[in-house]
Amino acid sequence: MGGRDILHVDMDAFYVSVELRKRPDLHGLPVWVGGATRGVVLSASYEARAYGVEGGMSSTRARRLCPDAVAIRPDYDAYEAVSDGVFAIFEAITPLVERVSLDEAFLDITGTRRLLGQPAQVGELIRALVADEQGIACSVGLAPTKLIAKMASNRAKPNGLYQVRPGEVVEFLHPLDVEKIWGVGPSTTGHLHKLGLRTVG
């Protein structure tokens, strides 16, 4: 498990976070971006997620779960503009940026130590710049590989940083439920459970 420093950076509830910049009065309330009563939920605030609302869910079901939530129509131009600003920050840190989506990327920061310090310092710098320049929060996972960095950023959510050092990979992975592995969905989880496999270890 080699000598690379890989960051996975993921914006927290991205569409909702962008909308809350325009509607600070909605901070702390259950909010989703998407249809109010028809269509789908594109992104849900953590307050809405506490009621079971999540991205990809029908708005009808979301409204049943959380009748008092505020639904906001999506503004894709705003999301593109914020995404461009976030990726400009990434590219100022390292040229080795792999875009996963509008709000998610891998960064290879192996060569930045001399200029920017230890990997965790770089991760915190990115979090601070995104918050200061774009007004939204992100979570950062730091690890020797993309897979572990992705899983580490999930552990960091919301609005945190989690580092898995090379010697800590097995200790990090083994207690996790098998469904925490990136790419393992409900169908594969069901097959693994039938085999008696419930944790990575």
Contact 152, 7 (CB under 8 A): no
Residue-wise pLDDT tens digits, 1-47 = 448 999 999 999 999 999 999 999 999 999 999 998 899 999 999 99
> What average pLDDT does this structure show over 98-124?
95
For residue 97, how many other CB atoms are within 10 A of its CB?
17
**Rounded Cα distance, 44 and 48, in Å:** 6
Tokens representing 173? 């992975």
Which is nearest to 144 in space by CA: 114, 106, 102?
106
Q: How confident is the model at residue 201 (pLDDT cuts 50, 70, 90)?
A: confident
> What average pLDDT does this structure show over 109-123?
93
Question: What is the predicted pLDDT for the residue at 187?
Answer: 87
> What average pLDDT does this structure show over 86-90?
98
Whether 104 is catalytic: yes
Would you list the DSSP string of the chain?
--S--EEEEEETTHHHHHHHHH-GGGTTS-EEEE-SSSSBEEEE-HHHHTTT--TTSBHHHHHHH-TTPEEE---HHHHHHHHHHHHHHHHHH-S-EEEEETTEEEEE-GGGHHHH-SHHHHHHHHHHHHHHHHS--EEEEEESSHHHHHHHHHHH-SS-EEE--GGGHHHHHTTSBGGGSTT--HHHHHHHHHTT--B--
Q: How confident is the model at residue 65 (pLDDT cuts 50, 70, 90)?
A: very high
Active-site residue, selected from the candidate residues 104, 168, 171, 179: 104
**Rounded Cα distance, 77 and 133, in Å:** 18
For residue 100, how many other CB atoms are within 10 A of its CB?
13
Q: How confident is the model at residue 103 (pLDDT cuts 50, 70, 90)?
A: very high
Question: What is the predicted pLDDT for the residue at 1?
Answer: 41
Q: Tokens 């930045």 belong to which residue?
A: 112
Q: How confident is the model at residue 101 (pLDDT cuts 50, 70, 90)?
A: very high
User: How does the average pLDDT of the chain come out, rounded?
Assistant: 93
> Is the whole-model pTM more than 0.85?
yes
Tokens representing 37? 């009563």
Residue 181 clears pLDDT 90, i.e. is over it: no
Q: How confident is the model at residue 104 (pLDDT cuts 50, 70, 90)?
A: very high
